[in-house]
């Protein structure tokens, strides 16, 4: 079964809007796990507009499944990850100030940059994943960075799913098959939801984990958190 990692950035956004501790981010993470989530994903950004660096330290001792820290590997982020030692770090090519992750790494141009950082993380036992699109060249060059996994950026799949789901998934099928043949493990994330998740999962060979935040939190407003997590887990069976 493909694992579900719940991205709780949006919960932190709501909390920060009022400057207090409602909703309680730590309790929310605990509840996600108790309801069946197999991981917690957070993305601390330089401006701390949702997840703060203190949140990262607070979450580490209470997450009992898998803590996945996403982010652009600037010096502050690298030092944070080395200090906290999560089970997984996912590197994304977000420049400061972007609204959300919207592209994968150019693993040819940025290969040496990624290789150095990944080597440092792996030296202390942190599994690494890098955010990539479905371009064959970017998949092939991912191997040379030393990463354990790739996370397929599924924004284009979600955008085109309702137009033609067969066409929307074909590049991801090819990318996943290539990655598996090259010895890379596969994660996926971005705009996956209850409408498009099961079809994606059923077509992607070797999909180990999906990270879902925005859609899941939106669904939880209607269905409740426990029911929502169950719905997502059922889509991953």
**Confidence at 94, pLDDT banded by 50, 70, 90:** confident
Active site residue 214: no
* 116-175 per-position pLDDT tens digit: 999 999 999 999 999 999 999 999 999 999 999 999 999 999 999 999 999 999 999 999
Average pLDDT of span 26-34 = 98
Q: What is the CATH number of the domain that holds 115?
A: 3.20.20.70
Whether pTM exceeds 0.75: yes
Over the chain, what is the mean pLDDT? Answer: 96
Active site residue 43: yes
Q: How many domains does the chain divide into?
A: 1
Please, which residues have CB within 8 angstroms of residue 38's CB and are 6 or more apart in sequence? 3, 4, 5, 65, 66, 209
Active site residue 151: no
> In the prediction, which pLDDT does 103 show?
73
The rounded radius of gyration (Å) of the Cα atoms in the chain is 17
What the block records as the tokens of 10 is 């949006």
> In the prediction, which pLDDT does 95 show?
65
Domain of 151 in residue numbering reads as 3-235
**Confidence at 97, pLDDT banded by 50, 70, 90:** low
Considering the candidates 33, 50, 151, 190, report the single residue annotated as catalytic.
190
> In the prediction, which pLDDT does 96 show?
59
């Amino acid at each position: 079964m493909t694992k579900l990692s719940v991205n709780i950035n949006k919960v932190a956004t709501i909390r920060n809007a009022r400057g207090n501790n409602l909703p309680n981010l730590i309790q929310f993470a605990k509840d996600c796990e108790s309801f069946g989530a197999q991981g917690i994903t957070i993305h601390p950004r330089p401006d701390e507009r949702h997840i703060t660096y203190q949140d990262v330290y607070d979450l580490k001792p209470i997450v009992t499944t898998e803590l996945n820290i996403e982010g652009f590997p600037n010096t502050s982020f690298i030092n944070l990850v080395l200090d906290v030692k999560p089970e997984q770090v996912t590197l994304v090519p977000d420049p400061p100030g972007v609204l959300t992750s919207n592209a994968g790494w150019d693993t040819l141009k940025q290969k040496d940059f990624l290789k150095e950082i990944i080597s440092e993380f792996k030296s202390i036992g942190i599994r690494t994943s890098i955010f990539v699109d479905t371009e064959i060249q970017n998949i092939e060059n991912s191997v040379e960075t030393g990463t354990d996994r790739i996370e397929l950026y599924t924004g284009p799949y979600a955008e085109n799913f309702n137009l033609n789901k067969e066409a929307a998934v074909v590049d991801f099928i090819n990318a996943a098959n290539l990655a598996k043949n090259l010895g890379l493990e596969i994660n996926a994330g971005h705009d996956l939801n209850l409408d498009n998740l099961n079809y994606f999962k059923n077509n992607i060979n070797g999909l180990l984990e999906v990270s879902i935040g925005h859609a899941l939190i939106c669904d939880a407003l209607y269905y409740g958190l426990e029911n929502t997590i169950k719905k997502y887990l059922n889509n991953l069976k």
